[in-house]
Amino acid sequence: MNMELPLSRYQNYVYDRLQCNSTSFFSLRYSDSDLFTKTSFLSNPRKYRNSFCWIKCSSFEQGLRPRPRPQPKPSKLDVGDRKETPLKETHVKKSSVGICSQIEKLVLCKKYRDALEMFEIFELEDGFHVGYSTYDALINACIGLKSIRGVKRLCNYMVDNGFEPDQYMRNRVLLMHVKCGMMIDACRLFDEMPARNAVSWGTIISGYVDSGNYVEAFRLFILMREEFYDCGPRTFATMIRASAGLEIIFPGRQLHSCAIKAGLGQDIFVSCALIDMYSKCGSLEDAHCVFDEMPDKTIVGWNSIIAGYALHGYSEEALDLYHEMRDSGVKMDHFTFSIIIRICSRLASVARAKQVHASLVRNGFGLDVVANTALVDFYSKWGKVDDARHVFDRMSCRNIISWNALIAGYGNHGHGEEAIDMFEKMLREGMMPNHVTFLAVLSACSISGLFERGWEIFQSMTRDHKVKPRAMHFACMIELLGREGLLDEAYALIRKAPFQPTANMWAALLRACRVHGNLELGKFAAEKLYGMEPEKLSNYIVLLNIYNSSGKLKEAADVFQTLKRKGLRMLPACSWIEVNNQPHAFLSGDKHHVQIEKVVGKVDELMLNISKLGYVPEEQNFMLPDVDENEEKIRMYHSEKLAIAYGLLNTLEKTPLQIVQSHRICSDCHSVIKLIAMITKREIVIRDASRFHHFRDGSCSCGDYW
């Protein structure tokens, strides 16, 4: 039997006769009561001692009073009762069993749009009888589509046909408004309900929490406690989420205490909400205590505690929990893998990420869009662009985040043409770019020096795609102009920006001035940066390098004195390399590594070999962001040189080396590493504070602009 009736003869009707704001039986009117006034609840706990004595947060506001309401009428049906209430009929209703059955079947198959189109038959032809089950299905269709227009159409039809909802249906209509984001109308519906039960309260409170209005959620929760002292676990879990949203731990602790007294301390919903709340409020010890007390550690509980540790930077501890979870036999989901992949990204651990990738495929998530997008992002960030493209090509479904991750990956590693090709392919496949997409592709153009293409894409943002350029887009274009030596044009673009220039825009101009030696404009840009970021050390160091390169030693000394006066200390540079799944860190001039003698000897050997190729150390010693350059010997053994030497000593020939370092690579080391890559026939990838550098065969992907 064909479920879908032909609707072609109804498609040309106009909906003008539908009154979108008529909701008579719901009596949607705002009350002047102070129940919904927008005042904070966080000032005076004594106000609520009688009605809600267990919450004592010291920041509740005064003034909350429950509004007077008429006595609730006895509900015709309790929640969950699906018995139909007879309609008040003034004439004989047409039989609509067939159409109602079709609508319900379409909703069951999640063909929500088709169901709402078929509902148009009822709207355009009077006299049909529609039952509770059909209204219930149409509510599901509106929720599934989050269709505000569908909500208004359905409510108007109910009103026009004299439908009298019972308590169950009132709660369903309330839920529909909440799920579709119509919180103002939902508030009015709730305010005028003749009778409310725990489901009514829970629905409106959950709506406020989901919309981020945590204060109003707490206000309503206090009023609910006056009417229903015993709250269910889902309501407690919802309010604990509100505490997490406010990042206020004290009311969360009070909710925890109350849940324990109510016998809900080990409920799965409450426990997972508590773990999330304590983690977001910075109390990992409490979060772990709740996790340890869970009798049945579900996947949600494991994910919550792992995410909590990862959130606060405890990456190794989060990985230990992941291994414990895996050994416990709990089946992992795509969220687990996405968390672990992001942890591996933070640790720069490609080997661990590959292990997680293999586990992801073994567990049946090889095509999951969330987990695979995390993999694309990880491989892109850490130099494995070919692996990122392989994962991307195998994805059966891609979202805008997947495309953005791959485009940014190509761009960050100097593959500007490939980034533009992916951008154009994305457009051909009908995917709408957003501001992140344009940031990725414009950054790719600036890194690779694709001047003409960059300007074409920048101009197409507003003209073709209606995306308004933001400050970061302007910063990319300023860097692109600066790379071409067009410093006056870059400064003019800053002045023409339709908003106040940001620190990133001035920093892009300052970098261009450093590379091209424009002292006056560089000094001007640096002064602008000082006013915005007076405590950021790198801004002073770039200007110091400009003065040094221009022979302005007195001015350089003045900048150095400014640093001392402000108490800004230049920290030792640090570089990391991972060998055999173990990270190794080196400081400039390091003397403490277990293999430091062999490493220093290897550096001396490399410097001797490249000197035979004509290398001469730069006479001018450029200072680096966050680096203390007090001794010439330290300059000979910069942290990146030590990390490269260690990698050459402890890896097989032709194995690529990947280093992460805390500072911008200096020009002398940049020249040295190009020659080392050439004589060792190794690819050396360095991610510094500026960008990725791929050294291969005596050249670098940055084109000597960083």
Whole-number Å distance between alpha carbons of 57 and 212: 19
Question: How large is the average pLDDT for residues 97-104?
Answer: 88
Residues whose CB is less than 8 angstroms from the CB of residue 344 and which lie 6 or more positions away in sequence, other chains included? 350, 352, 353, 356, 378
Chain segment 27-56, per-residue pLDDT in tens: 433 333 333 333 333 333 334 333 333 333
Dihedral angle at the C-alpha atoms of 421, 424, 430, 431, nearest 10 degrees?
70
Long-range contacts of 310-314, Cβ-Cβ distance < 8 Å, separation of 24 or more = 310/339, 310/342, 310/343, 310/346, 311/279, 311/280, 312/279, 312/282, 312/284, 313/346, 314/284
- Write down the pLDDT at residue 39: 37
Tell me which amino acid residue 460 is: S
Work out the number of other CB atoms within 10 angstroms of the CB of residue 19. 14
Per-residue pLDDT at 253 exceeds 50: yes
- Write down the pLDDT at residue 384: 84
Task: Look up tokens 């809600």; give the residue.
Answer: 52
Residues whose CB is less than 8 angstroms from the CB of residue 632 and which lie 6 or more positions away in sequence, other chains included? 621
Interaxial angle between packed helices 519-532 and 503-516, expressed in degrees from 0 to 180 and rounded to the nearest 10 = 150
Chain segment 379-390, per-residue pLDDT in tens: 888 878 899 999
DSSP one-letter code for 128: B
Helical segments of 435-536, H only: 435-448, 451-465, 471-483, 487-496, 503-516, 519-532
Helical segments of 50-197, H only: 97-108, 112-124, 132-145, 148-160, 167-179, 183-191
Question: How large is the average pLDDT for residues 19-25?
Answer: 37
Per-residue pLDDT at 533 exceeds 90: no
Residues whose CB is less than 8 angstroms from the CB of residue 371 and which lie 6 or more positions away in sequence, other chains included? 334, 337, 338, 341, 360, 365
- Identify the weakest region by mean pLDDT among 116-125, 418-427, 460-469, 595-604: 116-125
Whole-number Å distance between alpha carbons of 237 and 353: 33
Long-range contacts of 224-229, Cβ-Cβ distance < 8 Å, separation of 24 or more = 224/198, 225/51, 225/52, 226/51, 226/52, 226/66, 227/196, 227/201, 228/197, 228/198, 228/201
Q: How confident is the model at residue 634 (pLDDT cuts 50, 70, 90)?
A: low
Q: Decide which of 462 and 21 is more confident.
A: 462
Dihedral angle at the C-alpha atoms of 340, 346, 351, 353, nearest 10 degrees?
30
Work out the number of other CB atoms within 10 angstroms of the CB of residue 669. 23
Whole-number Å distance between alpha carbons of 639 and 665: 10
Contact 592, 585 (CB under 8 A): no
Tell me which amino acid residue 127 is: G
Task: Look up tokens 């920048």; give the residue.
Answer: 458
Question: How large is the average pLDDT for residues 617-644?
Answer: 64
Long-range contacts of 285-288, Cβ-Cβ distance < 8 Å, separation of 24 or more = none
Question: How large is the average pLDDT for residues 130-157?
Answer: 92
Tell me which amino acid residue 329 is: G
- Write down the pLDDT at residue 199: 92
Tell me which amino acid residue 540 is: Y
Whole-number Å distance between alpha carbons of 274 and 236: 10
Contact 506, 490 (CB under 8 A): no
Per DSSP, the three-state class of 693 is strand
- Write down the pLDDT at residue 121: 85
C-alpha 700 chain-centroid distance: 32
Contact 375, 393 (CB under 8 A): no
Per DSSP, the three-state class of 518 is coil
Q: How confident is the model at residue 498 (pLDDT cuts 50, 70, 90)?
A: very high
Per-residue pLDDT at 3 exceeds 60: no
Q: Decide which of 605 and 702 is more confident.
A: 605
Q: What percent of the chain has pLDDT over 90?
A: 46
- pTM of the full structure: 0.68
Q: Decide which of 260 and 350 is more confident.
A: 260
Contact 257, 54 (CB under 8 A): yes
Chain segment 163-181, per-residue pLDDT in tens: 888 999 999 999 999 999 9
- Write down the pLDDT at residue 628: 44
Helices (H) and strands (E) in the chain, counts: 32, 6
Per-residue pLDDT at 112 exceeds 50: yes
Whole-number Å distance between alpha carbons of 69 and 492: 64
- Write down the pLDDT at residue 154: 93
Question: How large is the average pLDDT for residues 311-337?
Answer: 89
Per-residue pLDDT at 280 exceeds 50: yes
Whole-number Å distance between alpha carbons of 147 and 104: 18
| Among the listed residues 603, 623, 606, 627, the one whose alpha carbon sits nearest the alpha carbon of residue 676 | 606
Whole-number Å distance between alpha carbons of 458 and 469: 8
Mean per-residue pLDDT of the chain = 81
CA angle 451, 456, 462 (to 5 degrees): 135
Residues whose CB is less than 8 angstroms from the CB of residue 253 and which lie 6 or more positions away in sequence, other chains included? none
Contact 233, 269 (CB under 8 A): yes
Per-residue pLDDT at 229 exceeds 80: no
Per-residue DSSP letters for 205-266? HHHHHHTT-HHHHHHHHHHHHHH-SS--HHHHHHHHHHHHHHT-HHHHHHHHHHHHHTT-TT
- Write down the pLDDT at residue 46: 34
How far lies 664's CA from each of 60, 541, 668, 692, in Å? Answer: 48, 11, 12, 10
